[in-house]
Amino acid sequence: MNNISPSGNELSQKFREINEIGIYLHIPFCTGICPYCPYNKEIFREDSSHKYVNAVIKEIDSYVPLIKNIPVTSFYIGGGTPTTMLTKGIESIINHIYRRLNMKCLVHMESHPDHLTAENLKIIESIGVKYLSIGVEAFQDHHLKTLERPYTVREVMNTIEKAVSRNFDCVNIDLIFDLPGQTESEVEQAGLEIAKLGVHQAATYPLFRFSYTRLGNQFNKRRNEIFTAFHRRKFLQILEEILYGSGYYRSSVWAFTKNGVDKYCSVTVPLYLGFGASGSSYLRDIFYVNTFNVSEYIKSINDGKSPVSLSINLSEQMQMAGWLYWRIYETRFRKSDFLKRFNICFDEKYGSLMEILNRVGYLKNGNDQINLTDKGAYWLHAFEDFFSIDYINKLWGTSIQNPRPGEVVLTTV
């Protein structure tokens, strides 16, 4: 990736060919820093949050003449911790977005359990959030301690109950498994609690060990890779068994959603714009990322300069590989959507590979629809992760250390 920002003309040309778009808003603030977390964040400070709100609003305005009336069909607010900015300016950003863009969707937003008082839950609903995610992470106090989460299991269960009893379309909880020393019965207990609490969705990630985080640094990632992959498969099978038996279906490799509920997820449409520090945008044949550094982001915007720090032009082969990556993540897709997007017959391009995967039981290859099996969803994604975790380590790790890296070479090591 290099440091060339797309010009206004280039962007204007791309937007002319786009008929729906998603937006992602990054809130890079947290009240504490967790030792395993790879995301771009810093400790919340009221003065920088004010400046941040103004900068984000200016960034949105810079896109308004380009986006014009294109329907925005997906809106996701992630972080960091978006709820650090409740009553501290997030409302102004959301209102601005709904005033200036052609919004055709409701808000999906991440939250920290400690911020979900009854009063804050009311505020969250009032600003248009219909899909709420809570970073619960574990159902045993000793694991919460390892993760340095500032609450107990009893407290977080109370919070979940309060959130579920309100009027959200979907309350998702994040759970991390494969924690240091975690046993199968602890994972089983977590699965049973999720079902009992009646949350609409659980996103259950294994603990990814990013080398630039404090906890990730303690592990030699490659040493036990095969063992780790089988171990995680076993944990995930335990969760599958409990959640399938309690009326949930698999809505992505790691997520289980209650039947009949609209799933909570990040941006759901292929093309998206990212606002804020580290916001990333994908517009068909270009992918670009804003500077991760909050002060540099604010300064660039206020100086009338582009906040983009890295970009890459994508060949058609890379776009197709990216398309397939995300469809595998979602565990189901239609071949006709590939044809619509690339004007190439899916079976001509990937037909023989799909047949092999069908024979080994990784997917069901229908006339138009492809559904991954549980085994396929896990192993195909584990294979993708083998490469993508290295990319993320390199891209995010470098961008966190250097506000304007100049160039990042993305090769696996």
Ligand X SMILES: C[S@@+](CC[C@H](N)C(=O)[O-])C[C@H]1O[C@@H](n2cnc3c(N)ncnc32)[C@H](O)[C@@H]1O
What does the binding site for ligand X look like in residue numbers (CB under 6 A)?
Answer: 30, 36-39, 78-79, 81, 110, 112, 135, 137, 174, 176, 205, 207-208, 210
Residue selected from 52, 59, 76, 80 as contacting ligand SF4 according to rule CB under 6 A: 80
Task: Write out the binding residues for ligand SF4, residues 380-409 only, by CB under 6 A.
Answer: none
Say whether residue 89 binds ligand SF4 (CB under 6 A). Answer: no
By CB under 6 A, residue 179 contacts ligand SF4: no
Q: Per CB under 6 A, which region of 12-20, 37-45, 96-104, 219-227 contacts ligand SF4?
A: 37-45
**Closest approach of Cβ 44 to ligand SF4, in Å?**
10
* Shortest spacing between CB 178 and ligand X, in angstroms: 9
Residue 31 CB, nearest distance to ligand SF4 (Å)?
7
CB of 306 to ligand X, least distance (A): 26
- x/- letters, 100..139, toward ligand SF4 (CB under 6 A): ------------x----------------------x----
Site string for ligand SF4, 50-69 (x = CB under 6 A): --------------------
- Nearest distance in Å: CB 2, ligand SF4: 28
Q: Which of 256, 147, 266, 143 is nearest to 209 (CA)?
A: 147
Choose among 21, 92, 85: nearest CA to 57.
92
- Compute the least distance from the CB of residue 182 to ligand X, in Å: 13
125 binding partner (options ligand SF4, ligand X, none; Cβ < 5 to 8 Å by kind): none
Residue of 1, 5, 23, 39 interacting with ligand SF4 (CB under 6 A):
39
Q: Please, which residue, 30 or 400, has the CB nearer to ligand X?
A: 30
C-beta pairs of 11-15 under 8 Å, 24+ apart in sequence: 11/66, 11/283, 12/66, 14/283, 14/284, 14/285, 14/286, 15/66, 15/67, 15/68, 15/70, 15/283
Query: Between residue 134 and residue 163, which ones bind ligand SF4 under the rule CB under 6 A?
Result: 135
d(CA 151, CA 137): 11
Give which of ligand SF4, ligand X, none residue 205 binds (C-beta under 5 to 8 Å, depending on kind): ligand X
For ligand X, the closer CB: 177 or 287: 177
193 binds, among ligand SF4, ligand X, none (CB under 5 to 8 A by kind): none
The residues pairing with 78 across neighbouring beta strands, listed in sequence order, are 26
The one-letter code for the residue type at 34 is: C
Residue from 5, 81, 111, 201 that binds ligand SF4 (CB under 6 A)?
81
318 binds, among ligand SF4, ligand X, none (CB under 5 to 8 A by kind): none
Contact set with ligand SF4 (CB under 6 A)? 30, 33-34, 37, 39, 41, 79-81, 112, 135
